[in-house]
Chain A
Amino acid sequence: MAVLEKPVAAPRARPREQSPFARIAGDFAQSPVAIAGLVVIVVIILLAVTASLIAPQNPYDLAQLDIMDGRLPPGSSSADGLTFWLGTDDQGRDMLSGILYGLRISLIVGAGSALVAGLVGTSLGLTAAYAGGRVEAAIMRLVDLQLSFPAILVALMILAALGKGVVNVMLALVIVEWASYARTARGAALAERAREYIEAAECLALPKWRVVFRHLLPNCLPPLIVIGTIQVARAIALEATLSFLGLGVPITEPSLGLLIANGYQYMLSGKYWISFYPGIALLVTIMAINLVGDQLRDVLNPRLQR
């Protein structure tokens, strides 16, 4: 296909049979930076999934830890020959293993909450656009209210009332994030609602849920995908921040944010590695997602289509 196509062909002259997915994938691949971001994301996910297989030690198996190995600088070795490439924390945990396990928690919390928030927010947004009237007014008033307070404050207050825990953090993130999905979904749905295919579906007397979820939703997806990508990055950053403040995940399931917090007290004595490397892992993750999100925004935006 790529061989047949002239490289300078205008987009309108593209073969009709090219699927939308192929077109989007092709446009996406135009940016090497975005491809790099995507590769990094895939690697990070693989690392997180296989953490228990590839990590030099299980950082939460107390039998494997030796307090004598505590706070060793990067590159030093333990008594039984294990090399700590990124150093150890105060409990003698290998930082590399800690980061791999921490990535797992950060990704689960970030992606999980963004997904749930996406489902809730999208459903409410579509409902608002399709139902109109009082339902719409009520939902959108709630959205405005939610968005008028900064995310970190809302999450802080929710966690103050609920206490720590992975589930509580996810709940807080969902409550913080659903509103931007709802607003986006409603905006997209309002534009699509007036189209003929919706009218056609209604004339067929299809059930309302079917019109909304099978006809309206697929056509509202592009902006939602963009928002979703950015929100995963936001959720990971917010979770790390909350955990750093001591309000996020418990010490038994440390995310990257909590690892950084653990190194805070050793910072002033120059033991930088306990906070430094988890922070790098966090930064690379967030940046990769943001780069992919940026490119997706350009690719999926019909106004920017070249």
Chain B
Amino acid sequence: MLLWFLRRLLQAMFVMLAMSLIVFIGLHAIGNPVDILISPEADQAERARIITQLGFDKPLWQQYAYFLQGALHGDLGRSFVFNEPALQLILQRMPATLELAVTAVLLSVLVGLPLGLFAGLYPNSFAGRAVMAGSILGFSLPGFWVGLMLIMVFAVSLGWLPSSGRGTTAALFGVQWSFLTRDGLAHLVLPALNLSLFNISLVLRLARAGVRETMPLDYIRFARAKGLSPTRVVFVHVLRNILIPVVTVVGLELGSTIAFSVVTESVFAWPGMGKLIIDSINVLDRPVIVAYLMIVVVMFVTINLVVDLLYTALDPRVRLGGRA
């Protein structure tokens, strides 16, 4: 167990090292951030001063060595553009992304589960078939395009909901959140819906398959024979059983929801870390890109670790690191 944990940790560090090196070399090869950062009017002396200040006069390996040295002390460098510590820049935007992703995941359960239950209980009804056809659409629709269409319908044509930004935020535990104000909630609806569309389809299909598998089982038949009301059978006996796979998958999907929020944030100008990274890539803001990479790797290694640990807790047949 400890060995398995250590191996995971070592693997994560190796990934971080390799990826940061690739990004370092790659960004160096693509272009010189100096051309983007320094205004064309700057004279030669000014140019040289900034180049020295940002460390571009040193050879690349030395720049990388400085970065590694800093990273070991928790300093991932300063953004070329914002002139703020890159780590702080990203962490400031993280709550916005997490808020969006968690809302989207909640939404996918709240919408997908009832629809899936319905489609599973009445598989041959017209509505049941329509729900299933809709879920194929949910898998096939390109997320960013749906976002644009949502903006077009609800923000431009109908004018019901705002199309960009977080709206008014309120502080809770020292962090700004949108869901605490009316205006913020209105801003949250469209992006969250957009981001959850894929997961809604996923949860829906899982729930439907679960219901179809569970309904013919003996214990359900027994519950009905006992004279329990159909509502109680469905919401207590069936639901509890299908929740296990749904919860597992939703937990697993949280990671990719956070990753995919890059797209949603760009469409809805949601000021999260996804929008930050796209902007940073466009201006070759290397410290921010590398810092984002480090944070994302740490985040995903943690998520995967937690999921694996949860598996062992839920299913005693799973042994970690057992297969040698």
- Asked if B300 lies at the interface with its beta carbon under 8 angstroms from chain A, I say yes
Q: Give A263's nearest chain B residue, CB to CB.
A: B148
- Asked if B163 lies at the interface with its beta carbon under 8 angstroms from chain A, I say yes
Residues of A within 8 A of B136 (CB): 287, 290-291, 294
- Asked if B90 lies at the interface with its beta carbon under 8 angstroms from chain A, I say no
| Cross-chain contact A247 with B256 (CB below 8 angstroms) | no
| Cross-chain contact B139 with A279 (CB below 8 angstroms) | no
| Cross-chain contact A283 with B163 (CB below 8 angstroms) | no
| Cross-chain contact A241 with B263 (CB below 8 angstroms) | yes
Within 8 A of A (CB), among B239-258: 255-256
| Cross-chain contact A237 with B304 (CB below 8 angstroms) | no
Q: Give A288's nearest chain B residue, CB to CB.
A: B140
> Among the listed A141, A244, A286, which residue makes an inter-chain contact with B263, where contact means beta carbons less than 8 Å apart?
A244
> Among the listed A149, A161, A241, A272, which residue makes an inter-chain contact with B142, where contact means beta carbons less than 8 Å apart?
A241
> Among the listed A160, A264, A272, A294, which residue makes an inter-chain contact with B26, where contact means beta carbons less than 8 Å apart?
A160
| Cross-chain contact A282 with B262 (CB below 8 angstroms) | no
Supposing A149-B300, A161-B22, A275-B145 touch, asked if A283 and B140 sit within 8 A by C-beta, the answer is yes
Is the interface on chain A under 10, 10 to 19, 20 to 34, or 35 or more residues?
35 or more
| Cross-chain contact B282 with A272 (CB below 8 angstroms) | no
| Cross-chain contact A268 with B151 (CB below 8 angstroms) | yes
Separation of A279 and B141 alpha carbons in the complex (Å): 9
Consensus secondary structure, chain B interface: helix
Q: Give A294's nearest chain B residue, CB to CB.
A: B136
| Chain B interfacial residues counted at CB < 8 A | 45
Supposing A150-B256, A153-B296, A267-B156 touch, asked if A286 and B289 sit within 8 A by C-beta, the answer is no
Q: Render B254-289 as a binary contact track against A, CB cut-off 8 A, 1 for contact.
A: 011001101100110000000001100110000001
- Asked if B48 lies at the interface with its beta carbon under 8 angstroms from chain A, I say no
Q: Render A266-280 as a binary contact track against B, CB cut-off 8 A, 1 for contact.
A: 011010100110010
Residues of B within 8 A of A272 (CB): 152, 156
Q: Render B99-143 as a binary contact track against A, CB cut-off 8 A, 1 for contact.
A: 000000000000000000000000000000000000011011111
- Asked if B25 lies at the interface with its beta carbon under 8 angstroms from chain A, I say yes
- Asked if A252 lies at the interface with its beta carbon under 8 angstroms from chain B, I say no
6 contacts between A and B (CB under 8 A): A150-B256, A157-B19, A267-B151, A267-B156, A268-B155, A290-B140
| Chain B interfacial positions (CB closer than 8 Å to A) | 11, 15, 19, 22-23, 25-27, 30-31, 136-137, 139-145, 148-149, 151-152, 155-157, 163, 255-256, 259-260, 262-263, 266-267, 277-278, 281-282, 289, 293, 296, 300-301, 304
